C-alpha cells in the first residue's frame, strides 16, 4: 500500500500544476454504486472493499470517508497509512479539505468519476480558501495500477417485451414528451440502469448488475447508444435500427456532447415516431423550439457537463429515474413470481442448513433451544463456513427458472461478523458456522423477470434473552413499517422512524437506511426514492407501483448482528375514509420466508403483531407449497406454526 501511495504522490508532484491532493472516488464514469473490477480504483489505493467511500491522498496524508455501514469493516481493512473518517461523526470531506489544506491548494480529480453536483459543491467550499479543483487529463490511479484488469467484451442482450412490459418506442415517446414539457431539446443519459431500462437491453459488464457500459443521448427526433461496438451482434444491431437507435462507439460520447451543445448532432438512423396530432414525422425545429439540454447533476459526470454551455443546461433529476421506479403491471407480476421462486430457494436452504448444523455440530437446531453438543466433525468432512453455505444457497437459487446470477455478494455472517453491516466473507479468512452464535444472511438474485433481496437472521442453538429482545425489537419495527398506511405525498424520510421506534424504546438503533427500491432485472439498489433518516430521502415521495425494501436491524460490535428484510410494493390503500381527498397508500409484501419464532420474545409482541405474523406465515405455506418437496414442506409447516394461540 505504501508503494502505491508513493507512486501517486510522485505523479501528483510532477503534474502541471502540482497537486496538493488527489481525490479517488468509488464511482466509475457512470456514477455507479457497484463497479467493474477495472474501475475499483478506490479499493486499489486503499485496500477498503466496501461499495461506498471516498479516498483522499495528500502529500503526507491518506484518508478515507465512508458511512456507518462500513465503519467496522474499514477499521479492519485500512492499513496504518490510512485514517478512517466516519461520515456523520468526523468532519466531512469538503470541510476537512478546506480547513486542512493550504490556501490556493490544487486538488486533483478525474472529471469522469465525479458528478456535476459533487464537483460544484466542492468548488464552492474550496473557493473560500482560494483552493481549486484541477481536472486531470488522465486518471493518475490508472497510471500507477500496472495490473489493472482489462476491459471485458460482453454481449449486449435484448430484454424481451414479455419481461419489460413496455416497448422502446413507447419509452422514447414518453421521454420526449417530458423533454418538451421542460423546454429541452435533448438529454444526456449516463447511469447504466437508465440506459438499459430505456433501450430494453441488459448485459454483464458489472458483476451482480445486468447492465452494459454505455451512455445514451436522446433528442426530439434522434436516439444514440454509445457502447463498445464489439459487444453488439448483428441481430442486436438490427434491433437498434428498428427502434431508431444510432449505435456509436463508447468514446464518441465526448465529441457528440460537444455537437449536441451546438445543435449539430445528427442521427444516421431513420427517425421513428410521428406527431400524434398530424401523423407526420417531426423535425427537431418543428417539434421543439427550445435550446436547453437536460442533465442530471447527481449522475452526469463533470467531464461531459463541462462540454456543454452551462447557461443552456437544464439541471434536474433524470426523468427516467422515476419512470423506471414506477413498475408497470408486467414488471410487478414478474417481481412477484421471482420472489416466490426465491423464497422457495431460501426455505430449501434453511432446511438443508438446519439438518447440517444438527448432524455436523450437534446443534439443537432451528426449532429447539438448548446448548449444542459440540459434536466433533469427522476427519476429512466438509466444514460449514460462511462461504461454503452461501455457495449452497446460490445453488438452490440457480435451480430456479429464469435465474441469471446473484444480485449482490451474499452477506453470510456468523456471530461478530454479523455486526459488520455489509460484511463480505472470503474463503481464506471467513468464519466457520457456530451453533452457539447468531447467523445472518442477506442475499438476492437476478432473474429475467425480477431482482430479489432478502435478509433473515437465525440461531441454531440457544439464543440469549438479550439476543431475543433485540431480534423482537427489529421484528416489531419491520412489522410496523410494512403495515403502515400513509397519504399520497409522503416520503421515505417521514416513514423511516416507524421501523426505529421499537428499537429507540430500548436505546437501540442502526446506522443504515431502512429501505431502497429494487430493479426489474436491474440494480438491486434503485432510486430515486428510499426510506431513510438521510435528508435526500425527502426528495421523492413514495408512489403506487414502486418497490421498496423494509430492513431494520441492530448490531453489537464484536458480538452479533440482526437484520430482517422483505421487499414491498407500494399500493393504493383500502381505507375507510379519505381525509383531504389525498388518497392513501400502503404496502404489499412479496417476499416469502419464515421468521424464526424461537428468536421471538412473545411477551414483547402485541396481539396485532402476533396476528400479522401468523397470517404472513400462513401465506408462506400456501404460496411456497408448489415449489417444495414433502420433507421441505413438513419443515416449513413446523416453521410457520401459529404462535401466541
Segment 592-643, tens digit of pLDDT: 999 999 999 999 999 999 999 999 999 999 999 999 999 999 999 999 999 9
- What is the distance of C-alpha 461 from the center of its chain? 33
How far is the C-alpha of 373 from the C-alpha of 612, rounded, in Å?
35
Percent of the chain topping pLDDT 70: 95
Mind listing the pLDDT tens digit for each residue in 124-165?
999 999 999 999 999 999 999 999 999 999 999 999 999 999
Mind listing the pLDDT tens digit for each residue in 447-465?
999 999 999 999 999 999 9
The confidence band for 374, taking pLDDT boundaries of 50, 70 and 90, is low
The confidence band for 283, taking pLDDT boundaries of 50, 70 and 90, is very low
Element (H, E) at 22: strand 21-25
Is the pLDDT at 380 greater than 90? The verdict is: no
* Contacts within 8 Å (CB) and 24+ apart, 531-539: 531/481, 531/492, 531/493, 531/495, 531/496, 531/499, 532/492, 532/493, 532/496, 533/493, 533/496, 533/500, 534/493, 535/493, 537/491, 537/492, 537/493, 537/496, 537/513, 538/491, 538/493, 538/494, 539/317, 539/491
Residue-wise DSSP of 246-301: EEE-TTHHHHHHHHHHTT----SSPPP---TTT-S---HHHH----EEEE-TTTSB
Is the pLDDT at 277 greater than 70? The verdict is: no
Percent of the chain topping pLDDT 90: 91
**CB-neighbour burial class of residue 48 (10 A; exposed 0-12, middle 13-18, buried 19+):** buried
Is the pLDDT at 503 greater than 50? The verdict is: yes
Is the pLDDT at 269 greater than 80? The verdict is: no
Q: For residue 385, which phi and psi values (nearest 5 degrees)?
A: -115, 170
* E strand spans, 59-167: 62-66, 83-86, 106-109, 132-135, 157-158
**Burial 595-610, CB ≥16 within 10 A → b, else e:** bbbbbbbeebbeeebb
Mean pLDDT of 16-31: 97
- Residue 308 C-beta-side C-alpha neighbours within 13 Å: 27
Alpha helices, H only, 182-242: 192-199, 234-242
Mind listing the pLDDT tens digit for each residue in 182-232?
999 999 999 999 999 999 999 999 999 999 999 999 999 999 999 999 999
- pLDDT at position 371: 72
The more confidently predicted of residues 489 and 2 is 489
Nearest CA among 441, 192, 504 for reference residue 318 = 192
Is the pLDDT at 29 greater than 80? The verdict is: yes
Strand partners, 109: 135
Is the pLDDT at 276 greater than 80? The verdict is: no
How far is the C-alpha of 565 from the C-alpha of 512, rounded, in Å?
13
Mean pLDDT of 515-531: 98
Mind listing the pLDDT tens digit for each residue in 416-448?
999 999 899 999 999 999 999 999 999 999 999
Instruction: List all residues 6 or more positions away from 457 whose beta carbon is below 8 Å from its beta carbon.
Output: 418, 438, 439, 440, 471, 474, 561, 562, 563, 564, 596, 599
- pLDDT at position 2: 86
How far is the C-alpha of 370 from the C-alpha of 352, rounded, in Å?
20
Mean pLDDT of 92-117: 96
Nearest CA among 265, 268, 252 for reference residue 293 = 265
* Three-state secondary-structure class, residue 398: helix
Is the pLDDT at 381 greater than 80? The verdict is: no
Is the pLDDT at 348 greater than 70? The verdict is: yes
Is the pLDDT at 274 greater than 60? The verdict is: no
**CB-neighbour burial class of residue 90 (10 A; exposed 0-12, middle 13-18, buried 19+):** middle
How far is the C-alpha of 492 from the C-alpha of 513, rounded, in Å?
10
The confidence band for 378, taking pLDDT boundaries of 50, 70 and 90, is low
Mean pLDDT of 97-112: 96
SS3 of 558-591: CCEEEECEEEEEEEECCCCCCHHHCCEEEEEECC
Strand partners, 454: 443
Is the pLDDT at 590 greater than 70? The verdict is: yes
Instruction: List all residues 6 or more positions away from 543 whose beta carbon is below 8 Å from its beta carbon.
Output: 325, 326, 488, 529, 570, 585
The confidence band for 370, taking pLDDT boundaries of 50, 70 and 90, is confident
- pLDDT at position 375: 61
Averaged pLDDT of the chain: 94
Asked whether 257 and 250 are in contact (CB, 8 A), the reply is no
Strand partners, 445: 406
| Four-CA torsion 593, 341, 157, 166, nearest 10 degrees | -90
Mind listing the pLDDT tens digit for each residue in 285-324?
444 468 999 999 999 999 999 999 999 999 999 999 999 9
Instruction: List all residues 6 or more positions away from 596 whose beta carbon is below 8 Å from its beta carbon.
Output: 366, 456, 457, 458, 459, 639
Element (H, E) at 454: strand 454-459
- Residue 82 C-beta-side C-alpha neighbours within 13 Å: 26
Strand partners, 458: 439
- pLDDT at position 284: 42
Query: Could you report how far apart the first and last alpha carbons of the chain are, in Å?
Result: 60
Residue-wise DSSP of 482-531: HT-EEETT-BHHHHHHHHHHHHHTTT---SS-SEEE--SSS-SSEEEEEE
- pLDDT at position 268: 66
Element (H, E) at 445: strand 445-447
| Four-CA torsion 413, 414, 417, 420, nearest 10 degrees | 50
How far is the C-alpha of 599 from the C-alpha of 518, rounded, in Å?
28
Is the pLDDT at 384 greater than 50? The verdict is: yes
The confidence band for 273, taking pLDDT boundaries of 50, 70 and 90, is very low
How far is the C-alpha of 166 from the C-alpha of 323, rounded, in Å?
11
Crossing angle of helices 93-100 and 116-127, in 10° steps, is 30
Crossing angle of helices 492-504 and 465-482, in 10° steps, is 150
Mean pLDDT of 488-506: 98
How far is the C-alpha of 570 from the C-alpha of 487, rounded, in Å?
12
Instruction: List all residues 6 or more positions away from 629 whose beta carbon is below 8 Å from its beta carbon.
Output: none
Is the pLDDT at 272 greater than 50? The verdict is: no
Q: Strand 106-109 vs strand 132-135: parallel, antiparallel, or unpaired?
A: parallel
- pLDDT at position 69: 86
Amino acid at each position: 500500500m505504501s508503494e502505491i501511495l508513493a507512486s501517486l504522490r510522485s505523479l501528483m508532484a510532477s503534474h502541471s500544476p502540482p497537486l496538493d491532493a488527489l481525490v479517488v472516488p468509488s464511482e466509475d464514469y457512470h456514477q455507479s454504486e457497484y463497479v467493474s473490477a477495472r474501475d475499483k480504483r478506490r479499493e486499489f489505493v486503499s485496500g477498503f472493499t466496501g461499495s461506498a467511500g471516498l479516498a483522499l491522498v495528500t502529500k503526507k496524508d491518506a484518508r478515507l470517508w465512508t458511512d456507518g455501514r462500513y465503519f467496522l469493516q474499514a477499521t479492519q481493512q485500512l492499513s496504518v497509512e490510512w485514517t478512517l473518517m466516519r461520515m456523520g461523526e468526523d468532519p466531512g470531506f469538503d470541510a476537512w479539505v478546506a480547513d486542512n489544506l493550504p490556501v490556493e491548494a490544487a486538488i486533483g480529480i478525474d472529471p469522469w468519476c465525479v458528478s456535476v453536483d459533487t464537483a460544484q459543491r466542492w468548488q464552492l467550499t474550496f473557493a473560500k480558501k482560494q483552493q481549486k479543483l484541477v481536472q486531470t487529463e488522465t486518471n493518475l490511479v490508472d497510471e500507477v495500477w500496472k495490473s489493472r484488469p482489462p476491459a471485458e467484451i460482453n454481449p449486449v442482450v435484448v430484454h424481451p417485451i414479455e419481461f419489460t412490459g413496455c416497448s422502446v418506442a413507447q419509452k422514447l415517446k414518453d421521454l420526449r414528451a417530458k423533454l418538451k414539457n421542460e423546454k429541452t431539446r435533448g438529454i444526456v443519459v449516463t447511469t447504466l440502469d437508465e440506459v438499459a431500462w430505456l433501450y430494453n437491453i441488459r448485459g454483464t459488464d458489472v458483476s451482480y448488475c445486468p447492465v452494459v457500459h454505455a451512455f445514451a443521448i436522446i433528442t426530439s427526433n434522434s436516439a444514440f447508444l454509445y457502447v463498445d461496438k464489439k459487444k453488439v451482434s448483428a441481430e442486436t444491431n438490427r434491433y437498434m435500427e428498428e427502434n431508431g437507435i444510432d449505435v456509436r462507439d463508447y468514446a464518441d460520447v465526448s465529441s457528440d456532447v460537444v455537437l449536441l451543445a451546438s445543435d449539430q448532432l445528427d442521427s444516421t438512423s431513420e427517425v421513428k415516431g410521428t406527431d400524434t396530432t398530424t401523423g407526420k414525422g417531426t423535425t427537431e425545429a418543428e417539434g421543439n423550439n427550445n435550446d436547453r439540454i437536460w442533465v442530471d447533476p447527481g449522475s452526469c459526470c463533470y467531464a461531459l457537463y463541462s462540454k456543454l454551455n452551462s447557461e443552456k443546461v437544464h439541471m434536474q433529476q433524470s426523468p427516467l429515474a422515476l419512470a423506471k421506479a414506477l413498475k408497470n403491471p408486467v414488471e410487478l407480476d414478474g417481481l412477484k413470481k421471482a420472489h416466490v421462486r426465491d423464497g422457495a430457494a431460501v426455505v430449501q436452504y434453511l432446511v438443508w442448513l438446519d439438518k447440517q448444523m444438527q448432524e455436523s455440530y450437534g446443534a439443537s437446531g432451528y426449532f429447539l433451544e438448548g446448548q449444542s453438543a459440540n459434536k466433533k466433525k469427522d476427519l476429512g468432512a466438509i466444514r460449514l463456513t460462511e462461504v461454503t453455505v452461501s455457495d449452497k444457497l446460490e445453488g438452490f437459487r440457480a435451480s430456479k427458472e429464469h435465474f441469471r446470477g446473484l444480485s449482490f455478494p451474499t452477506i453470510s455472517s456468523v456471530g461478530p461478523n454479523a455486526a459488520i453491516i455489509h460484511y463480505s466473507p472470503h474463503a481464506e479468512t471467513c468464519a466457520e458456522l457456530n451453533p452457539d452464535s447468531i447467523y445472518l444472511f442477506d442475499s438476492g438474485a437476478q432473474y429475467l423477470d425480477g431482482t430479489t433481496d432478502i435478509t433473515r437472521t437465525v440461531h441454531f442453538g440457544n439464543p440469549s434473552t438479550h439476543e431475543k429482545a433485540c431480534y423482537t425489537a427489529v421484528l416489531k419495527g419491520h412489522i410496523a413499517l410494512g403495515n403502515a398506511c400513509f397519504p399520497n405525498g409522503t416520503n421515505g424520510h417521514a416513514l423511516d422512524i416507524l421501523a426505529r421506534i421499537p428499537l429507540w424504546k430500548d436505546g437501540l438503533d442502526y446506522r443504515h437506511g431502512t429501505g431502497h427500491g429494487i430493479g426489474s432485472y436491474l440494480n438491486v439498489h434503485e432510486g430515486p426514492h428510499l426510506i431513510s433518516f438521510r435528508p435526500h430521502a425527502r426528495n421523492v415521495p413514495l408512489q403506487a407501483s414502486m418497490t421498496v425494501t423494509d430492513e431494520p436491524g441492530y448490531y453489537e460490535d464484536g458480538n452479533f448482528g440482526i437484520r430482517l428484510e422483505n421487499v414491498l410494493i407500494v399500493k393504493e390503500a383500502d381505507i375507510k375514509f379519505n381525509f383531504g381527498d389525498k388518497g392513501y397508500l400502503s404496502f404489499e409484501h412479496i417476499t416469502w420466508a419464515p421468521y424464526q419464532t424461537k428468536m421471538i420474545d412473545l411477551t414483547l409482541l402485541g396481539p396485532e403483531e402476533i396476528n400479522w405474523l401468523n397470517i404472513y406465515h400462513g401465506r408462506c405455506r400456501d404460496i411456497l407449497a408448489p415449489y417444495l418437496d414433502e420433507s421441505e414442506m413438513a419443515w416449513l409447516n413446523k416453521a410457520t406454526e401459529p404462535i401466541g394461540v
